[in-house]
Chains A and B, each alone.
Chain A
Amino acid sequence: MLALAAGATTASAQVAVIAHKGVPVDSLSKTELLDFYTGDAQSWRGEMAVVVFDLKSRGPVRDAFYEYLGKTSSRMRSIWLKRKLSGEGDPPESFETEVEVLQRVASTPGALGFVQQATVSGDDVKILVVIEIDEG
């Protein structure tokens, strides 16, 4: 379910999990999100292939996202590497900036990514989950 901030937080302190406008869902549970990011799930309800994007460098947005999923960056790297070396799939394509992620999600059918919520404007993408960044 949505991890909406319960307290008073600014938009810049939240991570938005975004998807292409054509995906057949309006929200994701944490388990579903984790399944997409670990490669356990590869389609949107069996209808459309999911294309997962990641941020290349560590930072508060990426850290908050993986903390929400309950995985460290090194653990995620290990999971992806295992999938690649087992012939089961490739790691998510990763980008240097959130703007690149936003653009690629908006232009790629079935795409899923995450950016700082303040980066999202207009209705180019769907926001499926909002995660609060723990600034403490």
Chain B
Amino acid sequence: MPYRRVILLCCLLGLSQGEVAGQFNTFGYFQTSFQHRTSFPDEPAQNFFSLQQLNLFFQTNISRRWGAFVNFEVLNNFSSSRRWGSFNLEEAWLRYRHDARFNLKAGLQIPVFNHLNEIKNRSPLLPYIVRPLVYETSFNEFIAVEAFTPTQAFLQAYGFLSVGETKLDYAAYLGNSPNIRSQFDNLRDGGDGQTGVDTTKTLLVGGRLGLRQGNAKAGASATYDVTNAFQGAEALFGGPATRFEGVPRIRVGGDFSVHVGRFSFEGELILVSHDEDEPELNVDNEFFYGTLGAQANERLFVYASYWNTVQREVAFDIRTSDGIIPVFPIIVDIESIQVGVAFSPNERITLKAQGGPVEVVQRATVIPFGDITSRQWDFSIYGVAASVLF
């Protein structure tokens, strides 16, 4: 029947505009970039294009109080056949909104932690090409971004209370501890455990308290969970095989941002401490960033940003001439000043340029013998990018 074709056509047109019956929305964005890294000892300069990130959202308002949201994220020129990058389900949650004072989200979600965690992968919102390092998810193959910030929660209550012109924000959440089983674990152990889930009885607990007034806001965040990442350290420090199981980990964060006229400042501090009950072993992490920006006009934003990251890792398979297999802390201190501009010719496109020097200092220590290597790399990175909303 001809009218059925018309109805079908109308449905297809509706879908192509990303909306069905005004209730179901599909939208997203991508960021594509060209970057140049200068050379440093042992490493030649590098030029590369990258589709850094693509996010695809599905959102629906089921009713006035209920809503749902799904976020797929694709990183680093993803290709499954070539084994490039990654494709991830980042969020899939159901929200109940009672009022501004109380909202509840259930399902996979990015928890509130400091200012940037929740929006770290919303590239159209950010002026950066390379984000402050612990938020740069496209670097997660070589920076332990998940050690610094909680990346997943499954149940979160949040909202704010108004006291005059001041708002008291809160968020409290539960999630998995980081001891998640993977296919790699199954292959290694010959097991067949359920992947993607916490293998221990412990949970991630966290939250943020904040104040907002006018164009300023500040907050304090914290999380608690336990990690098995240091299992094996008993080979050096002695004790039973279970000694370094379930090491408590506490992340503490502080954030502050203010807009004054055309100028803005935002900054964050993150301290990650582990209660590993071994004074010789320090595997704590630290991160700070501060960005000073100016909105030159409605479309042009310029900024300078300082980043400092101290990341301590542990390797277990370093064999010395004595034949022992010691715990091997590697301390990586990364410092950078980045300057950049973000220009939005219209509501959907943001063009970005960014660059600056990076200093990386790595120290590796075998605990009984002190520092055995200390290396430093100085280089610069420059990039241009386009972030596009669709």
Contact = CB atoms under 8 A, between A and B. Distances in A.
Interface in B22-40: 25, 27, 29
A85 B279 CA distance: 44
27 contacts: A31-B164, A35-B100, A35-B162, A40-B100, A40-B160, A40-B167, A41-B100, A42-B97, A42-B100, A43-B99, A58-B298, A70-B215, A72-B295, A74-B298, A75-B215, A75-B259, A75-B295, A77-B347, A81-B122, A82-B119, A85-B57, A85-B124, A86-B122, A87-B59, A87-B91, A87-B93, A90-B25
Interface residues of B, number: 34
Contacts of B95: 87
User: In the complex, which of the residues B125, B164, B259 has the most CB atoms of chain A within 10 Å of its own CB atom?
Assistant: B125
A86 B118 contact: yes
Interface of A: 31, 35, 40-43, 46, 49, 58, 70-75, 77-78, 81-82, 84-87, 90
Contacts of A86: 118-119, 122
Q: Is the interface of B mostly helix, strand, loop or mixed?
A: strand
Interface of B: 25, 27, 29, 57, 59, 64, 67, 69, 71, 91, 93, 95, 97, 99-100, 118-119, 122, 124-125, 160, 162, 164-165, 167, 214-215, 259, 262, 295, 298-299, 301, 347
Q: Which 9 A-B pairs have the closest CB atoms?
A: A87-B69, A85-B122, A87-B59, A74-B298, A31-B165, A74-B295, A73-B298, A82-B125, A81-B125
Given A35-B100, A87-B91, 19 more contacts: A31-B165, A40-B100, A40-B160, A40-B167, A41-B100, A42-B97, A49-B64, A70-B215, A74-B295, A74-B298, A75-B295, A81-B122, A82-B119, A82-B122, A86-B119, A87-B57, A87-B59, A87-B69, A87-B95
Contact of A70 (B214, B299, B301): B214
B113 to A, nearest CB: 14
A133 B301 CA distance: 27
B125 A78 contact: yes
Contact of A85 (B99, B125, B165, B295): B125
Nearest to B91: A87
Q: Is the interface of A mostly helix, strand, loop or mixed?
A: mixed
B264 to A, nearest CB: 9
Contacts of B27: 84
A87 B67 contact: yes
Contacts of A43: 99
Contacts of B215: 70-71, 75
Contacts of B160: 40
Given A40-B160, A41-B100, A72 B298 contact: yes
A71 B262 CA distance: 10
Contacts of A75: 215, 259, 295
User: In the complex, which of the residues A49, A75, A81, A86 has the most CB atoms of chain B within 10 Å of its own CB atom?
Assistant: A86
A72 B259 CA distance: 10
Contacts of B298: 58, 72-74
